[in-house]
Structure 1
Amino acid sequence: MKPAAFEYHAPTTADEAVTLLAELGDEAKIIAGGQSLVPMLALRLAVFDHLVDLRKLEELRGIETRGDAVWIGAGTTHAAVGRDPDIRRDVPLLHRATPLIGHFQIRNRGTIGGAIAHADAAGEYPAVALTLDAQMHTVSPREQRTIPAAEYFTGMWSTAMEPDELLTGITFPVWRGRAGFAIEEFARRAGDFAMAGAVVAVRLDADSRIERVALGLIGLAPTPLRATTIEAELIGRPAAEVAAAEIGNSVTAGSSSVPADIHGSADYRRRIGAVMVARAWTRAVEEASND
Protein backbone atom coordinates (compact mmCIF):
# COMPACT_ATOMS: atom_id res chain seq x y z
CA MET A 1 0.00 0.00 0.00
CA LYS A 2 0.95 3.65 -0.25
CA PRO A 3 0.41 6.49 2.21
CA ALA A 4 -2.57 8.75 1.82
CA ALA A 5 -1.76 12.11 0.26
CA PHE A 6 -0.20 14.69 2.57
CA GLU A 7 1.46 18.11 2.39
CA TYR A 8 5.17 18.09 3.18
CA HIS A 9 6.91 20.74 5.31
CA ALA A 10 10.67 21.05 5.92
CA PRO A 11 11.36 23.76 8.51
CA THR A 12 14.95 24.82 9.15
CA THR A 13 14.61 25.88 12.81
CA ALA A 14 12.85 24.55 15.89
CA ASP A 15 10.86 27.80 16.18
CA GLU A 16 9.60 27.36 12.63
CA ALA A 17 8.69 23.74 13.34
CA VAL A 18 6.61 24.46 16.44
CA THR A 19 4.90 27.38 14.70
CA LEU A 20 3.80 24.95 12.00
CA LEU A 21 2.57 22.48 14.62
CA ALA A 22 0.55 25.19 16.33
CA GLU A 23 -0.99 26.37 13.06
CA LEU A 24 -1.79 22.92 11.65
CA GLY A 25 -3.02 21.31 14.89
CA ASP A 26 -4.10 17.69 14.89
CA GLU A 27 -3.76 17.45 11.12
CA ALA A 28 0.05 17.55 11.41
CA LYS A 29 2.60 14.93 12.46
CA ILE A 30 6.32 15.27 13.06
CA ILE A 31 8.59 12.93 11.13
CA ALA A 32 12.18 12.48 12.29
CA GLY A 33 13.90 9.29 11.08
CA GLY A 34 10.55 7.88 10.02
CA GLN A 35 11.39 4.32 11.00
CA SER A 36 8.14 3.88 12.94
CA LEU A 37 5.92 6.42 11.22
CA VAL A 38 6.56 5.54 7.57
CA PRO A 39 5.43 1.90 7.88
CA MET A 40 2.29 3.05 9.71
CA LEU A 41 1.57 5.57 6.96
CA ALA A 42 2.22 3.01 4.23
CA LEU A 43 -0.24 0.58 5.81
CA ARG A 44 -2.66 3.46 6.43
CA LEU A 45 -2.69 2.69 10.13
CA ALA A 46 -2.07 6.43 10.48
CA VAL A 47 -3.22 9.25 8.19
CA PHE A 48 -2.14 12.91 8.45
CA ASP A 49 -2.76 15.85 6.15
CA HIS A 50 0.65 17.38 6.93
CA LEU A 51 4.09 15.96 7.74
CA VAL A 52 6.67 18.22 9.39
CA ASP A 53 10.14 16.87 8.60
CA LEU A 54 12.91 17.64 11.13
CA ARG A 55 15.90 16.57 9.04
CA LYS A 56 17.09 20.15 8.39
CA LEU A 57 17.17 21.09 12.08
CA GLU A 58 20.90 20.97 12.84
CA GLU A 59 20.22 22.34 16.33
CA LEU A 60 18.56 19.04 17.25
CA ARG A 61 21.70 17.00 16.58
CA GLY A 62 24.76 16.48 18.76
CA ILE A 63 26.08 15.01 21.99
CA GLU A 64 27.54 17.15 24.78
CA THR A 65 28.84 16.43 28.28
CA ARG A 66 27.35 18.98 30.63
CA GLY A 67 28.71 18.57 34.15
CA ASP A 68 27.39 15.31 35.61
CA ALA A 69 25.08 14.66 32.68
CA VAL A 70 25.16 14.04 28.95
CA TRP A 71 22.84 15.95 26.61
CA ILE A 72 21.80 14.30 23.35
CA GLY A 73 19.98 16.24 20.65
CA ALA A 74 16.65 14.66 19.73
CA GLY A 75 17.67 14.44 16.06
CA THR A 76 20.81 12.40 16.79
CA THR A 77 20.66 9.01 15.10
CA HIS A 78 20.87 5.71 16.94
CA ALA A 79 24.10 4.95 15.08
CA ALA A 80 25.69 8.20 16.28
CA VAL A 81 24.66 7.44 19.87
CA GLY A 82 26.06 3.92 19.62
CA ARG A 83 29.51 4.95 18.42
CA ASP A 84 30.03 8.04 20.59
CA PRO A 85 32.92 7.57 23.09
CA ASP A 86 31.38 9.88 25.71
CA ILE A 87 28.15 7.85 25.68
CA ARG A 88 30.11 4.62 25.98
CA ARG A 89 32.03 5.96 28.99
CA ASP A 90 29.38 8.02 30.80
CA VAL A 91 26.06 6.39 29.85
CA PRO A 92 27.05 2.76 29.15
CA LEU A 93 23.48 1.52 29.45
CA LEU A 94 22.46 3.66 26.48
CA HIS A 95 25.48 2.45 24.52
CA ARG A 96 24.60 -1.20 25.19
CA ALA A 97 20.96 -0.73 24.30
CA THR A 98 21.69 0.70 20.87
CA PRO A 99 22.72 -2.52 19.05
CA LEU A 100 19.44 -4.11 20.14
CA ILE A 101 17.39 -1.58 18.17
CA GLY A 102 16.18 -3.11 14.91
CA HIS A 103 18.83 -3.51 12.21
CA PHE A 104 21.71 -1.27 11.17
CA GLN A 105 19.60 0.39 8.45
CA ILE A 106 17.10 1.44 11.10
CA ARG A 107 19.84 2.67 13.42
CA ASN A 108 21.34 4.76 10.62
CA ARG A 109 18.04 6.59 10.04
CA GLY A 110 16.16 6.45 13.32
CA THR A 111 16.70 9.15 15.95
CA ILE A 112 16.79 8.97 19.72
CA GLY A 113 14.16 11.70 19.96
CA GLY A 114 11.88 9.87 17.58
CA ALA A 115 12.20 6.65 19.54
CA ILE A 116 11.48 8.33 22.87
CA ALA A 117 8.63 10.49 21.56
CA HIS A 118 7.08 7.39 19.94
CA ALA A 119 6.96 5.98 23.50
CA ASP A 120 6.77 2.31 22.55
CA ALA A 121 6.83 0.19 25.71
CA ALA A 122 8.81 -2.44 23.79
CA GLY A 123 11.46 0.09 22.78
CA GLU A 124 14.91 0.13 24.36
CA TYR A 125 15.53 3.88 24.56
CA PRO A 126 12.31 4.73 26.43
CA ALA A 127 13.13 2.07 29.04
CA VAL A 128 16.70 3.32 29.43
CA ALA A 129 15.51 6.92 29.75
CA LEU A 130 13.07 5.98 32.48
CA THR A 131 15.56 3.77 34.32
CA LEU A 132 18.27 6.44 34.37
CA ASP A 133 15.91 9.31 35.31
CA ALA A 134 16.54 11.16 32.07
CA GLN A 135 15.00 14.57 31.41
CA MET A 136 13.21 15.48 28.19
CA HIS A 137 13.61 19.02 26.89
CA THR A 138 10.80 20.45 24.79
CA VAL A 139 9.90 23.70 23.10
CA SER A 140 6.58 25.16 21.96
CA PRO A 141 5.42 28.61 20.83
CA ARG A 142 4.60 29.30 24.49
CA GLU A 143 7.59 28.05 26.46
CA GLN A 144 10.48 25.67 26.95
CA ARG A 145 9.95 22.77 29.34
CA THR A 146 11.95 20.03 31.01
CA ILE A 147 9.91 16.88 31.70
CA PRO A 148 11.29 14.14 33.99
CA ALA A 149 11.13 10.69 32.43
CA ALA A 150 8.92 9.52 35.30
CA GLU A 151 6.25 11.99 34.13
CA TYR A 152 6.87 11.80 30.39
CA PHE A 153 5.40 8.41 29.38
CA THR A 154 1.66 8.58 29.97
CA GLY A 155 0.20 5.65 28.03
CA MET A 156 0.50 3.47 24.95
CA TRP A 157 2.38 5.57 22.36
CA SER A 158 1.54 8.71 24.29
CA THR A 159 3.55 11.25 26.27
CA ALA A 160 3.08 14.37 28.37
CA MET A 161 3.97 16.57 25.40
CA GLU A 162 1.37 18.94 23.99
CA PRO A 163 0.46 18.76 20.26
CA ASP A 164 2.50 21.89 19.48
CA GLU A 165 5.56 20.81 21.46
CA LEU A 166 8.80 19.55 19.96
CA LEU A 167 11.28 17.30 21.75
CA THR A 168 14.65 19.03 21.35
CA GLY A 169 16.95 16.92 23.51
CA ILE A 170 17.37 14.42 26.31
CA THR A 171 19.70 14.69 29.30
CA PHE A 172 21.02 11.51 30.92
CA PRO A 173 22.60 11.72 34.41
CA VAL A 174 26.03 10.13 34.77
CA TRP A 175 26.36 7.49 37.49
CA ARG A 176 29.72 7.76 39.27
CA GLY A 177 31.42 5.29 41.64
CA ARG A 178 31.15 1.50 41.71
CA ALA A 179 28.35 1.22 39.19
CA GLY A 180 27.25 -1.61 36.94
CA PHE A 181 24.74 -1.68 34.08
CA ALA A 182 23.02 -4.31 31.98
CA ILE A 183 20.18 -4.71 29.51
CA GLU A 184 18.67 -8.08 28.58
CA GLU A 185 15.76 -8.80 26.28
CA PHE A 186 14.10 -11.70 24.51
CA ALA A 187 12.84 -11.35 20.91
CA ARG A 188 11.61 -13.98 18.48
CA ARG A 189 14.18 -12.89 15.90
CA ALA A 190 17.15 -10.54 15.89
CA GLY A 191 15.89 -7.03 15.20
CA ASP A 192 12.33 -7.71 16.36
CA PHE A 193 10.76 -5.77 19.20
CA ALA A 194 11.38 -7.53 22.50
CA MET A 195 8.63 -9.69 23.95
CA ALA A 196 10.06 -8.82 27.35
CA GLY A 197 13.23 -7.26 28.67
CA ALA A 198 14.96 -5.66 31.61
CA VAL A 199 17.25 -2.71 32.27
CA VAL A 200 19.32 -2.63 35.46
CA ALA A 201 21.64 -0.03 36.97
CA VAL A 202 23.22 -0.58 40.38
CA ARG A 203 25.84 1.23 42.46
CA LEU A 204 27.63 -0.30 45.45
CA ASP A 205 29.32 1.40 48.38
CA ALA A 206 32.77 0.51 49.72
CA ASP A 207 31.26 -2.42 51.67
CA SER A 208 29.50 -3.78 48.58
CA ARG A 209 26.09 -2.78 49.87
CA ILE A 210 23.54 -1.49 47.40
CA GLU A 211 23.74 2.29 47.46
CA ARG A 212 21.63 3.09 44.42
CA VAL A 213 19.56 0.93 42.08
CA ALA A 214 17.18 1.30 39.15
CA LEU A 215 15.14 -1.54 37.66
CA GLY A 216 13.32 -1.01 34.37
CA LEU A 217 11.04 -3.29 32.36
CA ILE A 218 10.57 -3.51 28.60
CA GLY A 219 7.38 -4.72 26.94
CA LEU A 220 5.47 -5.67 30.07
CA ALA A 221 2.93 -2.85 30.16
CA PRO A 222 1.50 -0.13 27.90
CA THR A 223 4.43 2.08 29.00
CA PRO A 224 8.00 1.49 30.16
CA LEU A 225 8.03 0.58 33.85
CA ARG A 226 10.21 1.17 36.91
CA ALA A 227 10.08 -1.22 39.85
CA THR A 228 10.40 1.59 42.39
CA THR A 229 9.03 -0.39 45.34
CA ILE A 230 11.59 -3.17 44.86
CA GLU A 231 14.34 -0.58 44.36
CA ALA A 232 13.59 0.97 47.74
CA GLU A 233 13.67 -2.43 49.43
CA LEU A 234 17.11 -3.20 48.00
CA ILE A 235 18.87 -0.08 49.27
CA GLY A 236 21.40 -0.97 51.98
CA ARG A 237 21.38 -4.73 51.38
CA PRO A 238 24.67 -6.53 50.72
CA ALA A 239 24.73 -7.25 47.00
CA ALA A 240 26.06 -10.77 47.56
CA GLU A 241 22.99 -11.70 49.61
CA VAL A 242 20.47 -10.74 46.93
CA ALA A 243 19.38 -13.67 44.77
CA ALA A 244 18.93 -12.79 41.11
CA ALA A 245 15.89 -15.07 40.77
CA GLU A 246 14.31 -13.37 43.78
CA ILE A 247 14.67 -9.98 42.10
CA GLY A 248 13.30 -11.25 38.81
CA ASN A 249 10.21 -12.80 40.35
CA SER A 250 9.56 -9.84 42.63
CA VAL A 251 9.83 -7.25 39.87
CA THR A 252 7.61 -8.98 37.33
CA ALA A 253 5.03 -10.12 39.89
CA GLY A 254 4.09 -6.49 40.39
CA SER A 255 3.65 -5.72 36.70
CA SER A 256 0.01 -5.42 35.73
CA SER A 257 -1.55 -4.97 32.28
CA VAL A 258 1.00 -7.27 30.66
CA PRO A 259 0.14 -7.48 26.95
CA ALA A 260 -0.88 -10.73 25.28
CA ASP A 261 -1.03 -11.56 21.58
CA ILE A 262 -0.42 -14.42 19.15
CA HIS A 263 3.24 -14.48 20.12
CA GLY A 264 2.69 -15.13 23.81
CA SER A 265 0.31 -14.91 26.73
CA ALA A 266 0.67 -12.40 29.54
CA ASP A 267 1.88 -15.14 31.87
CA TYR A 268 4.49 -16.27 29.34
CA ARG A 269 5.81 -12.73 28.94
CA ARG A 270 5.88 -12.29 32.69
CA ARG A 271 8.00 -15.45 33.08
CA ILE A 272 10.36 -14.29 30.35
CA GLY A 273 10.60 -10.91 32.03
CA ALA A 274 11.60 -12.51 35.33
CA VAL A 275 14.45 -14.34 33.60
CA MET A 276 15.60 -11.18 31.84
CA VAL A 277 15.60 -9.23 35.12
CA ALA A 278 17.63 -11.98 36.82
CA ARG A 279 20.20 -12.04 34.03
CA ALA A 280 20.53 -8.28 33.89
CA TRP A 281 20.80 -8.08 37.67
CA THR A 282 23.61 -10.65 37.74
CA ARG A 283 25.59 -8.86 35.04
CA ALA A 284 25.14 -5.40 36.56
CA VAL A 285 26.18 -6.51 40.05
CA GLU A 286 29.21 -8.35 38.69
CA GLU A 287 30.32 -5.21 36.84
CA ALA A 288 29.82 -3.00 39.89
CA SER A 289 31.67 -5.49 42.12
CA ASN A 290 34.68 -5.52 39.80
CA ASP A 291 34.90 -1.76 39.55
Structure 2
Amino acid sequence: MYNFTFHRPGTVRQAANLLGKNPEGKILAGGHSLLPVMKQRLAQPSALIDLSKVEGLNAIEHKGRSVTIGAMATHFEVANSPVVKEAIPALAALAGSIGDPAVRHRGTIGGSLANNDPNADYPAACLGLGATIITNKRRIAADDYFTGMFSTALEPDEIITKVSFPVAKKAAYEKFRHPASGFALVGVFVSKRGSDIRVAVTGAGANGVFRVKSFEEALKKRFAAKSIEGLTVPANGMSSDIHAGAEYRAHLVAVMAKRALAKA
Protein backbone atom coordinates (compact mmCIF):
# COMPACT_ATOMS: atom_id res chain seq x y z
CA MET A 1 0.00 0.00 0.00
CA TYR A 2 0.99 3.66 -0.08
CA ASN A 3 -0.05 6.95 1.54
CA PHE A 4 -3.53 8.32 0.90
CA THR A 5 -6.00 10.54 2.77
CA PHE A 6 -8.98 8.82 4.38
CA HIS A 7 -12.29 10.70 4.67
CA ARG A 8 -15.51 9.58 6.35
CA PRO A 9 -18.24 12.13 5.48
CA GLY A 10 -21.66 12.15 7.11
CA THR A 11 -23.71 13.18 4.07
CA VAL A 12 -23.77 12.59 0.32
CA ARG A 13 -23.20 16.31 -0.24
CA GLN A 14 -20.02 16.21 1.85
CA ALA A 15 -18.85 13.11 -0.02
CA ALA A 16 -19.47 14.80 -3.39
CA ASN A 17 -17.59 17.91 -2.28
CA LEU A 18 -14.63 15.79 -1.18
CA LEU A 19 -14.68 13.93 -4.48
CA GLY A 20 -14.69 17.24 -6.35
CA LYS A 21 -11.68 18.45 -4.36
CA ASN A 22 -9.84 15.16 -4.90
CA PRO A 23 -10.00 14.31 -8.63
CA GLU A 24 -7.77 11.28 -8.05
CA GLY A 25 -9.85 10.10 -5.09
CA LYS A 26 -12.15 7.07 -4.95
CA ILE A 27 -15.44 6.34 -3.23
CA LEU A 28 -15.20 3.44 -0.77
CA ALA A 29 -18.35 1.33 -0.37
CA GLY A 30 -17.80 -2.36 0.48
CA GLY A 31 -14.20 -2.29 -0.76
CA HIS A 32 -14.15 -5.81 -2.20
CA SER A 33 -13.06 -4.56 -5.62
CA LEU A 34 -11.14 -1.41 -4.75
CA LEU A 35 -8.92 -2.58 -1.88
CA PRO A 36 -7.45 -5.62 -3.70
CA VAL A 37 -6.43 -3.55 -6.73
CA MET A 38 -4.91 -0.95 -4.39
CA LYS A 39 -2.85 -3.66 -2.72
CA GLN A 40 -1.63 -4.72 -6.17
CA ARG A 41 -0.93 -1.05 -7.00
CA LEU A 42 -3.23 -1.24 -10.00
CA ALA A 43 -5.07 1.73 -8.50
CA GLN A 44 -3.44 4.52 -6.51
CA PRO A 45 -6.14 6.99 -5.39
CA SER A 46 -4.96 10.05 -3.52
CA ALA A 47 -7.95 9.81 -1.18
CA LEU A 48 -10.57 7.32 -0.06
CA ILE A 49 -14.03 8.68 0.70
CA ASP A 50 -15.84 6.16 2.88
CA LEU A 51 -19.67 6.18 2.64
CA SER A 52 -20.27 3.89 5.63
CA LYS A 53 -21.32 6.74 7.93
CA VAL A 54 -23.81 8.33 5.54
CA GLU A 55 -27.23 7.61 7.04
CA GLY A 56 -30.04 6.18 4.95
CA LEU A 57 -27.95 4.88 2.08
CA ASN A 58 -28.90 1.27 2.80
CA ALA A 59 -32.68 1.80 2.92
CA ILE A 60 -34.95 -0.56 0.96
CA GLU A 61 -38.48 0.59 0.09
CA HIS A 62 -41.40 -0.59 -2.02
CA LYS A 63 -43.30 2.38 -3.42
CA GLY A 64 -45.95 2.01 -6.08
CA ARG A 65 -44.67 -0.23 -8.84
CA SER A 66 -40.98 -0.14 -7.96
CA VAL A 67 -38.51 -1.20 -5.29
CA THR A 68 -35.83 1.31 -4.38
CA ILE A 69 -32.58 0.04 -2.85
CA GLY A 70 -30.00 2.32 -1.27
CA ALA A 71 -26.51 2.18 -2.75
CA MET A 72 -24.93 1.00 0.52
CA ALA A 73 -27.33 -1.92 0.97
CA THR A 74 -25.23 -5.07 1.17
CA HIS A 75 -25.88 -8.14 -0.95
CA PHE A 76 -26.98 -9.89 2.25
CA GLU A 77 -29.51 -7.16 3.02
CA VAL A 78 -30.95 -7.31 -0.49
CA ALA A 79 -31.11 -11.11 -0.46
CA ASN A 80 -32.87 -11.23 2.92
CA SER A 81 -35.11 -8.18 2.61
CA PRO A 82 -38.80 -9.13 3.03
CA VAL A 83 -39.63 -6.24 0.69
CA VAL A 84 -37.41 -7.53 -2.13
CA LYS A 85 -38.39 -11.15 -1.56
CA GLU A 86 -42.07 -10.32 -1.93
CA ALA A 87 -41.91 -7.78 -4.77
CA ILE A 88 -39.00 -9.08 -6.88
CA PRO A 89 -37.97 -12.54 -5.65
CA ALA A 90 -35.64 -12.98 -8.63
CA LEU A 91 -33.58 -10.00 -7.44
CA ALA A 92 -33.36 -11.40 -3.90
CA ALA A 93 -32.23 -14.76 -5.29
CA LEU A 94 -29.61 -13.06 -7.47
CA ALA A 95 -28.18 -11.17 -4.48
CA GLY A 96 -28.07 -14.39 -2.48
CA SER A 97 -25.97 -16.06 -5.19
CA ILE A 98 -23.19 -13.46 -5.13
CA GLY A 99 -19.79 -14.66 -3.92
CA ASP A 100 -19.74 -16.18 -0.44
CA PRO A 101 -21.10 -15.07 2.98
CA ALA A 102 -18.12 -12.78 3.62
CA VAL A 103 -18.62 -11.01 0.29
CA ARG A 104 -22.40 -10.77 0.73
CA HIS A 105 -22.11 -9.21 4.19
CA ARG A 106 -19.71 -6.50 3.03
CA GLY A 107 -20.21 -5.88 -0.69
CA THR A 108 -22.83 -3.32 -1.74
CA ILE A 109 -25.13 -2.88 -4.71
CA GLY A 110 -23.86 0.63 -5.37
CA GLY A 111 -20.24 -0.45 -5.30
CA SER A 112 -20.93 -3.29 -7.70
CA LEU A 113 -22.72 -1.05 -10.18
CA ALA A 114 -20.10 1.70 -9.98
CA ASN A 115 -17.34 -0.85 -10.67
CA ASN A 116 -19.33 -2.63 -13.40
CA ASP A 117 -17.27 -5.80 -13.43
CA PRO A 118 -18.12 -7.72 -16.63
CA ASN A 119 -18.83 -10.86 -14.58
CA ALA A 120 -20.90 -9.20 -11.84
CA ASP A 121 -24.55 -10.15 -11.27
CA TYR A 122 -26.27 -6.82 -10.51
CA PRO A 123 -25.71 -5.35 -14.01
CA ALA A 124 -27.85 -8.17 -15.41
CA ALA A 125 -30.61 -7.40 -12.91
CA CYS A 126 -30.52 -3.67 -13.71
CA LEU A 127 -30.59 -4.15 -17.46
CA GLY A 128 -32.94 -7.13 -17.22
CA LEU A 129 -35.52 -5.21 -15.18
CA GLY A 130 -35.07 -1.80 -16.77
CA ALA A 131 -33.85 -0.23 -13.55
CA THR A 132 -32.94 3.40 -12.96
CA ILE A 133 -29.63 4.30 -11.31
CA ILE A 134 -30.12 7.39 -9.15
CA THR A 135 -27.14 9.59 -8.28
CA ASN A 136 -26.57 12.81 -6.38
CA LYS A 137 -27.11 14.62 -9.69
CA ARG A 138 -29.61 12.74 -11.87
CA ARG A 139 -31.47 9.58 -12.84
CA ILE A 140 -29.85 7.26 -15.40
CA ALA A 141 -31.74 4.49 -17.20
CA ALA A 142 -29.92 1.17 -17.10
CA ASP A 143 -29.91 1.07 -20.91
CA ASP A 144 -27.79 4.26 -20.86
CA TYR A 145 -25.74 3.53 -17.76
CA PHE A 146 -23.52 0.60 -18.79
CA THR A 147 -21.06 1.81 -21.42
CA GLY A 148 -18.46 -0.98 -21.54
CA MET A 149 -16.22 -3.21 -19.46
CA PHE A 150 -15.60 -1.48 -16.09
CA SER A 151 -17.13 1.62 -17.69
CA THR A 152 -20.31 3.53 -16.83
CA ALA A 153 -22.04 6.84 -17.58
CA LEU A 154 -21.06 8.20 -14.14
CA GLU A 155 -19.29 11.54 -14.16
CA PRO A 156 -16.08 11.96 -12.10
CA ASP A 157 -17.85 13.65 -9.16
CA GLU A 158 -21.06 11.61 -9.37
CA ILE A 159 -22.14 9.21 -6.61
CA ILE A 160 -24.79 6.49 -6.82
CA THR A 161 -27.32 6.97 -4.00
CA LYS A 162 -29.95 4.36 -4.85
CA VAL A 163 -31.34 2.10 -7.55
CA SER A 164 -35.02 1.86 -8.54
CA PHE A 165 -36.23 -1.50 -9.89
CA PRO A 166 -39.65 -1.79 -11.58
CA VAL A 167 -41.69 -4.71 -10.29
CA ALA A 168 -42.02 -7.27 -13.07
CA LYS A 169 -44.88 -9.70 -13.56
CA LYS A 170 -42.38 -12.48 -14.24
CA ALA A 171 -38.62 -12.54 -13.68
CA ALA A 172 -35.80 -14.98 -13.03
CA TYR A 173 -32.01 -15.20 -13.05
CA GLU A 174 -29.80 -18.16 -13.86
CA LYS A 175 -26.03 -18.24 -13.96
CA PHE A 176 -23.23 -20.66 -14.68
CA ARG A 177 -21.19 -19.97 -11.58
CA HIS A 178 -17.41 -19.89 -11.36
CA PRO A 179 -16.70 -22.51 -8.67
CA ALA A 180 -14.06 -20.43 -6.88
CA SER A 181 -15.21 -16.81 -7.07
CA GLY A 182 -18.95 -17.22 -7.50
CA PHE A 183 -18.82 -14.74 -10.39
CA ALA A 184 -20.96 -15.49 -13.43
CA LEU A 185 -19.16 -17.16 -16.31
CA VAL A 186 -22.52 -16.51 -17.92
CA GLY A 187 -25.62 -15.14 -16.19
CA VAL A 188 -28.99 -14.40 -17.79
CA PHE A 189 -31.79 -12.31 -16.28
CA VAL A 190 -35.20 -12.45 -17.95
CA SER A 191 -38.29 -10.40 -17.16
CA LYS A 192 -41.77 -9.58 -18.40
CA ARG A 193 -43.50 -6.35 -17.42
CA GLY A 194 -46.48 -5.70 -19.64
CA SER A 195 -45.19 -5.50 -23.20
CA ASP A 196 -41.61 -4.88 -22.01
CA ILE A 197 -39.67 -8.14 -22.44
CA ARG A 198 -36.02 -8.15 -21.41
CA VAL A 199 -33.17 -10.66 -21.62
CA ALA A 200 -29.91 -9.37 -20.13
CA VAL A 201 -26.60 -11.25 -20.13
CA THR A 202 -23.60 -10.80 -17.86
CA GLY A 203 -20.26 -12.61 -17.84
CA ALA A 204 -20.29 -13.34 -21.56
CA GLY A 205 -19.84 -10.10 -23.48
CA ALA A 206 -16.41 -8.70 -24.26
CA ASN A 207 -17.87 -5.24 -23.56
CA GLY A 208 -19.80 -6.22 -20.45
CA VAL A 209 -23.53 -6.68 -19.87
CA PHE A 210 -25.85 -6.66 -22.91
CA ARG A 211 -29.39 -7.44 -24.02
CA VAL A 212 -30.30 -10.19 -26.50
CA LYS A 213 -32.84 -8.49 -28.77
CA SER A 214 -33.49 -11.60 -30.88
CA PHE A 215 -34.58 -13.53 -27.78
CA GLU A 216 -36.74 -10.61 -26.64
CA GLU A 217 -38.54 -10.44 -29.98
CA ALA A 218 -39.25 -14.17 -29.93
CA LEU A 219 -40.56 -13.98 -26.36
CA LYS A 220 -43.12 -11.31 -27.22
CA LYS A 221 -45.30 -14.02 -28.73
CA ARG A 222 -44.98 -16.29 -25.72
CA PHE A 223 -42.82 -15.84 -22.63
CA ALA A 224 -41.54 -19.41 -22.41
CA ALA A 225 -38.36 -21.39 -23.02
CA LYS A 226 -39.84 -23.02 -26.14
CA SER A 227 -40.06 -19.63 -27.83
CA ILE A 228 -36.28 -19.37 -28.12
CA GLU A 229 -35.72 -22.99 -29.10
CA GLY A 230 -33.14 -23.07 -31.90
CA LEU A 231 -32.06 -19.46 -31.36
CA THR A 232 -28.41 -18.73 -30.62
CA VAL A 233 -26.12 -15.77 -30.09
CA PRO A 234 -22.95 -15.39 -32.18
CA ALA A 235 -19.58 -16.14 -30.58
CA ASN A 236 -18.26 -12.95 -32.15
CA GLY A 237 -18.16 -10.35 -29.41
CA MET A 238 -18.10 -12.89 -26.59
CA SER A 239 -15.38 -12.89 -23.95
CA SER A 240 -12.73 -15.60 -24.06
CA ASP A 241 -10.34 -16.45 -21.21
CA ILE A 242 -8.80 -19.38 -19.32
CA HIS A 243 -12.19 -20.21 -17.79
CA ALA A 244 -14.30 -20.42 -20.96
CA GLY A 245 -13.98 -19.68 -24.65
CA ALA A 246 -16.22 -17.42 -26.73
CA GLU A 247 -18.06 -20.33 -28.37
CA TYR A 248 -18.76 -21.98 -25.02
CA ARG A 249 -20.06 -18.73 -23.53
CA ALA A 250 -22.29 -18.18 -26.55
CA HIS A 251 -23.73 -21.67 -26.05
CA LEU A 252 -24.28 -21.02 -22.34
CA VAL A 253 -26.27 -17.85 -23.02
CA ALA A 254 -29.03 -19.88 -24.66
CA VAL A 255 -28.87 -22.60 -22.01
CA MET A 256 -29.08 -20.14 -19.09
CA ALA A 257 -31.82 -18.16 -20.83
CA LYS A 258 -33.98 -21.28 -21.18
CA ARG A 259 -33.41 -22.20 -17.54
CA ALA A 260 -34.34 -18.69 -16.41
CA LEU A 261 -37.48 -18.72 -18.53
CA ALA A 262 -38.50 -22.09 -17.11
CA LYS A 263 -37.98 -20.73 -13.59
CA ALA A 264 -39.91 -17.52 -14.33
Determine the C-alpha separation between the residues in 1 that align with 2:149 and 2:55: 29
Q: Which amino acid aligns with 1:185?
A: K
| 1:220 matched to 2:204 | yes
Determine the C-alpha separation between the residues in 2 that align with 1:203 and 1:30: 34
| 1:85 matched to 2:85 | no
**Counterpart residue number, 2:174:** 184
Stretches of structure 2 lacking an aligned partner (at least 5 in a row): none
Cα deviation code 1:18-58 (max 9, x no counterpart): 00111111x10111010111111112221111111111011
| 1:127 matched to 2:107 | no
Deviation at 1:283, TM superposition (A): 1.8
How many percent of aligned residue pairs carry the same amino acid? 38
8 Å Cα contact 2:219-2:228 kept in structure 1: no
Runs of 4+ in 1 over 2 A off after TM superposition: 238-246
TM superposition score normalised by structure 2? 0.93
**Counterpart residue number, 2:48:** 51
Q: CA RMSD in A?
A: 1.8
8 Å Cα contact 2:236-2:246 kept in structure 1: no
Bigger Cα Rg:
1
Please identify which structure carries the higher helix content. 1
Deviation at 1:189, TM superposition (A): 0.5
Q: Which amino acid aligns with 1:18?
A: A
8 Å Cα contact 2:215-2:228 kept in structure 1: no
**Counterpart residue number, 1:267:** 247
Cα deviation code 1:43-77 (max 9, x no counterpart): 22211111111110113120111211111110111
| 1:159 matched to 2:152 | yes
Determine the C-alpha separation between the residues in 1 that align with 2:22 and 2:49: 10
TM superposition score normalised by structure 1? 0.85
Change (3 A) 1:5 1:129: same
Q: Which moved more, 1:41-50 or 1:182-191?
A: 182-191
Change (3 A) 1:227 1:21: same
Determine the C-alpha separation between the residues in 2 that align with 1:55 and 1:134: 24
Match of 1:245 among 211, 218, 229: 229
8 Å Cα contact 2:218-2:227 kept in structure 1: no
**Counterpart residue number, 2:216:** 231
Stretches of structure 1 lacking an aligned partner (at least 5 in a row): 205-210, 285-291
8 Å Cα contact 1:121-1:127 kept in structure 2: no
The count of aligned residue pairs is 263
Determine the C-alpha separation between the residues in 1 that align with 2:42 and 2:115: 15
Cα deviation code 1:141-180 (max 9, x no counterpart): xxx20000000011111110100011000000112xxx33
Match of 1:110 among 107, 110, 113: 107
8 Å Cα contact 1:244-1:279 kept in structure 2: no
SS at match of 2:191: strand
Determine the C-alpha separation between the residues in 1 that align with 2:30 and 2:225: 45
